[in-house]
Structure 1
């Protein structure tokens, strides 16, 4: 069955953005996030060894999570990510070449945009949803403002989303949230304290209103 990113975002709401993490710890990190309620994982293509990490997460997924490739800047990177098992693409911008490749490959893409012009362009090029980035520069009020003229374009808020504003972005109309440094405690990972990582994920899951934020293997 073809993976539908928009359906998944509406159901799970949170995307964990993994950038620059140690490849040897990427699977335990994903497992800890899964236990905390995270079901969507993005590995950025500017991470050293990103392809190895995508393969490892795709092989281990077993229905637990969906892994996508982020910071996909050109079609060649998209091709490599797809070969490694990525089920969706995320970009920081609207790139016609990448979007055309995604459409041809039958892979959903979440392109990054900030202005109404960029958002509409991304949607017209085939995006089912658009990554509003960097959203922290404008805040939840901006998401709400966009609902007036563009209620038909689902938005995923990314950039500076934390526990204090996560619920506000969703209440303003975002269908999901991309979480990076505010979710991922690098010191906890260095210490091998996966329980702390799981606890943090659960806090975000509760803030996003997705139940108890617990998972099972």
Structure 2
């Protein structure tokens, strides 16, 4: 009797040299770890630098939050290093709605304010694991799981989060389901979410 098994995993590649600064022009690059990279001898400090994370983001939107992203698009030197970060600003009662990062675990630190945060485990348990965080508190959202943050305070809140990918991606659940392009068939969504079709069409119109 033969046993067959397979294992699939996705993660940022381990670097095979000190730096692999991403570059768009293949003519001025070398090909390393599946990416076009600047010649390591030509790297400069600016390839590893970002300025302005001290500046609050604009939270004047329906959800009352803003994410300032610092990934490989902002710091080319992050290429192959498997890490990035974000600043998250929350207006009073603002929220970072349920979302996932398909390629990265997130660890968040509250700098100001009070946040109610949580994540939901995978099927079939779908267990909510949540916590109230204050200034200086740290919380982890495991890779791929739906999670959220909600400012429960009367004042602005700020957090910094690090992610275990140079480009972890983000899928905001409501946007993806009700705001897809082209739209998902409303009859299907009505049955999937056990909603009236008119409610689904209303949600699709708003996303």
TM-score by length of 1: 0.26
Question: Which is richer in helix?
Answer: 1
Q: Which has the higher contact order (CA 8 A, sep 6+)?
A: 1
| CA radius of gyration, larger in | 2
Question: Which is richer in strand?
Answer: 2
